[in-house]
Structure 1
Amino acid sequence: MPGNFEQVTAQLTALVRAKTADSRARAHSLESLPGHAGFSYSFVLERTAPDAVPAGKFVVRLAPPGVKISGPADIVRQARVMESLADTPVAVPPIIWYGDEPEFFDRPYFVAGFVDGFKLGESALPAAHLKRLARKGIATMAALHNVPWEPRRAAWGEPFALSEELKRLDYLLDRPTLDPAVVARAPELRERLRSSLPAGARIGCVHGDFQWSNVLFNEQRVVALIDWEISLVGATLLDLGWICFFSDPGSWVGVDPGRGSLLNAGEIVDAYAEVAGFPVSAAQVRWFRAFAGYRFGVITCFNLMLHRRGKRDDPLWEETALSAPTMFEHGLELLG
């Protein structure tokens, strides 16, 4: 929203002056950041009377205007989730302020510290070094899954059952407007997943979109896990299945979604099992990998339909949809 830079800058300046009680504080150097569940900007905070919040670079994320504040648009929940992890081994951006006071942006917001880091796919470091970093990324995922969720219930909410995850996808799949050639064997995979639902899946804090584009590194370690829009308390292997899916060429046609990971799905599972501190069932891992392909395949079919009907223009889904039948086929293969 480049046209709104001046307005957002003025709103940010009002916010930082109110929060710091520094009448000469100001926000400037606003820049857009990537993201789909809100509007995100980096900015520089200038202070004349530094206190607990010094001058420096920060990030503000705003809920999209005119949408229901729930799910991925619940910006305040995202802030609370990250704030709840501040005293854990899971690196997250430091949360400075959050709220929904109408006098600032007229919609929910949070302000976090800017974390300077890179994504694996963007680095020119030697492959062996990047591979070590990738393993540290998997260790961060395991650390998240070991964080006690019960004391963080107020931020995260109650556990979400796998059966409910499947029902949520029914809303997207059960539509006559989907392309039958793309949706292919999705209904068959859905029934196989339902009939083999894992019993006793381990419950914990789940990022929900754990892929390499959401992990920031420096040369030694993970510096931040970002984009918590669909975090939940649920089966922890949801995250493992998801990152494996994006690192498995068997689910894709003509693209490399896991570029930069340097670990294949088997290596990811082995790295996770080495540091998890709890048993990792091979059969359950296969189910969650199949479910990840089903989940993303259904999302692809739905978004392709929206694009073709002119409801949400995004030609990228045409390219992604070339792989959707393969996602469903590979999911069936994984289930045996």
Structure 2
Amino acid sequence: MPGDIEQVTAQLTKLVRAKTGDAGARAHSLDSLPGHAGFSYSFILERSARAATPAGKYVVRIAPPGVKISGPADIVRQARVMASLADTQVAVPPIIWYGDEVEFFERPYFVGGFVEGIKLSESSLPLAHLKRLARNGIATMAALHNVPWEPRREAWGEPFALSEEHKRLDYLLDRPTLDPAVVARAPELRERLRSSLPTAARIGCVHGDFQWSNVLFNQERVVALIDWEISLVGATLLDLGWICFFSDPASWVAATGAGVDPGRGSLLNADEIVEAYAEAAGFPVSIPEVRWFRAFAGYRFGVITCFNLMLHRRGKRHDPLWEETALSAPRMFEHGLELLG
């Protein structure tokens, strides 16, 4: 079962020897990495000889035990999605191996190259410099949305309709166990969104969780876009609405602000993000449509907050952070209604 460092080290050494054919190869110096969709470690690969896969630092991600291998837990799909972008302008970690052979971890896995980079939220660079880097990050998002999805259908799957995401959120929201005070105006916002659903949204490759913690920088460049657990082919403005939501102080009460650094302000405000995206996109960007996707992002995260708060309070998934985040949920729904006008 993944999770024990010594056990994973032994399993990983078995894998690298099998994949490289080098009986002297070994994995060591495992270090846990953050993430919620599996077990992730950086490690050092030591080789007894030079080879196509050289010695150095790598990352392994292993699907969590006891869960259905689908959605965020589908580790192999994540690897295929990243591998499909290797020949594009979108920087992703190089994928070395992936599979679901039971003899290694008894769960699906992938091994990728370790990318040295910084996250803007962890940087001490001057704010003006961070804003310049952030614009480069938004340009990377636009580059992703320009990648032709049809030739990558085998890795990415078929387009996912906005109406299907509405149904998924209905499943989370329509529960009597949710706190009515937190749910607040969510049903009203749902109906407004549904009645104004974009009918001709541009379709393309969507990261699904495009926020600053998932973009790595080195010098002036984006060196890796990471965490592809909920990537999909769908409306590309889902990504733009998402990053705008997390960068908009109007969606958060003062005590929280999960997406906004209260000490320094947002890296870019929502208008600056939309401006940078429109400059880099190379295709028309409708501002009214962007506002719909910003409202939808607030609705989506607000519903997820209501649901996870319920799980926490009922002892099904302990995570007290949702208590703090839930303070802003009513504001998320209110601001979504304001964006829709």
TM-score range normalised by the length of the shorter chain: over 0.9
Alpha-carbon contact 1:90-1:140 (below 8 Å) kept? yes
Matched position secondary structure for 2:223 = strand
What's the counterpart of residue 248 of structure 2?
Answer: 248
1:141-184 C-alpha deviation (Å, 9 max, x unpaired)? 00000000000000000000111111111110010000000000
Deviates more, 1:137-146 or 1:3-12: 3-12
What's the counterpart of residue 27 of structure 1?
Answer: 27
CA distance in 2 between counterparts of 1:220 and 1:264 reads 20
CA distance in 2 between counterparts of 1:226 and 1:51 reads 27
What's the counterpart of residue 96 of structure 2?
Answer: 96
- CA RMSD for the aligned pairs? 1.1
Q: Partner amino acid for 1:36?
A: H
Unpaired stretches in structure 2, ≥5 consecutive residues: none
**1:125 shift after superposition:** 1.2
CA distance in 2 between counterparts of 1:3 and 1:39 reads 7
* 1:1-336 aligned within 5 A: 4-253=4-253, 254-256=255-257, 257-259=259-261, 261-336=266-341
**1:51 shift after superposition:** 1.1
Alpha-carbon contact 2:2-2:8 (below 8 Å) kept? no
Alpha-carbon contact 2:2-2:65 (below 8 Å) kept? no
**1:258 shift after superposition:** 3.1
Alpha-carbon contact 1:90-1:143 (below 8 Å) kept? yes
Matched position secondary structure for 2:315 = coil
Matched position secondary structure for 2:92 = coil
Q: Partner amino acid for 2:152?
A: R
Q: Partner amino acid for 2:314?
A: R
Q: Partner amino acid for 1:54?
A: P
Q: Partner amino acid for 1:176?
A: P
1:302-335 C-alpha deviation (Å, 9 max, x unpaired)? 0000000000000000000000000000000000
Alpha-carbon contact 2:256-2:324 (below 8 Å) kept? no
1:207-227 C-alpha deviation (Å, 9 max, x unpaired)? 000000000001211000000
State the identity %.
86
Matched position secondary structure for 1:224 = strand
**1:3 shift after superposition:** 6.6
Q: Partner amino acid for 2:306?
A: C
CA distance in 2 between counterparts of 1:330 and 1:50 reads 57
CA distance in 1 between counterparts of 2:96 and 2:260 reads 32
1:52-82 C-alpha deviation (Å, 9 max, x unpaired)? 1000000000000010000000000000000
**1:195 shift after superposition:** 0.1
1:222-245 C-alpha deviation (Å, 9 max, x unpaired)? 000000000000000000000000
Q: Partner amino acid for 1:258?
A: V
**1:129 shift after superposition:** 1.2
**Equivalent pairs, count:** 336
Deviates more, 1:14-23 or 1:211-220: 211-220
Alpha-carbon contact 1:212-1:258 (below 8 Å) kept? no
CA distance in 2 between counterparts of 1:277 and 1:179 reads 44
**1:124 shift after superposition:** 1.0
Alpha-carbon contact 1:204-1:236 (below 8 Å) kept? yes
How does the TM-score come out when normalised to structure 1? 0.99
Alpha-carbon contact 1:138-1:268 (below 8 Å) kept? yes
Unpaired stretches in structure 1, ≥5 consecutive residues: none
CA distance in 2 between counterparts of 1:185 and 1:156 reads 34
Alpha-carbon contact 1:250-1:330 (below 8 Å) kept? yes
CA distance in 1 between counterparts of 2:260 and 2:326 reads 17
Q: Partner amino acid for 2:177?
A: T
CA distance in 1 between counterparts of 2:137 and 2:66 reads 36
**1:273 shift after superposition:** 0.4
CA distance in 2 between counterparts of 1:174 and 1:187 reads 9
Q: Partner amino acid for 2:144?
A: L
Q: Partner amino acid for 2:326?
A: A
Where in structure 1 do 4 or more consecutive aligned residues deviate above 4 Å? none
Alpha-carbon contact 2:207-2:231 (below 8 Å) kept? yes
How does the TM-score come out when normalised to structure 2? 0.97
